[in-house]
Amino acid sequence: MENRIVVVTGAFGVLGRAVAQRALERGAFVAQMDRGAAPGAMDAARTFAIPGVDLADPDAARAAFARVGAHFGGIDVLLNIAGGFVWEKVEGGDLAAWDRMYALNLRTAVSACMAALPFLEKSGSGAIVNVGAFGAIKAGVGMGAYAASKAGIAKLTESLAEELKGAVTVNAVLPSIIDTPANRADMPDADFGKWVRPEDLAEAMLFLASQKSRAITGALLPVTGGV
- Catalytic residue ranges: 146
Q: Residue 59: name the closest of 67, 47, 48 by CA.
A: 67
Give residues with Cβ within 8 angstroms of 149, minimum separation 6: 83, 101, 102, 104, 105, 106
Helix (H, G, I), strand (E, B) or coil at 188: coil
Specify which residues 168 forms β-bridges with: 126
Q: 171-180 in b/e burial notation, b at 16+ Cβ within 10 A?
A: bbbbbbbbbb
134-142 contacts, C-beta under 8 A, 24 or more apart: 134/174, 134/175, 134/176, 134/222, 134/223, 134/224, 134/227, 135/176, 136/174, 137/174, 141/89, 142/87, 142/88, 142/89
Q: Coil, strand or helix: which one is 109?
A: helix
Angstrom distance (rounded) from CA 158 to CA 10: 22
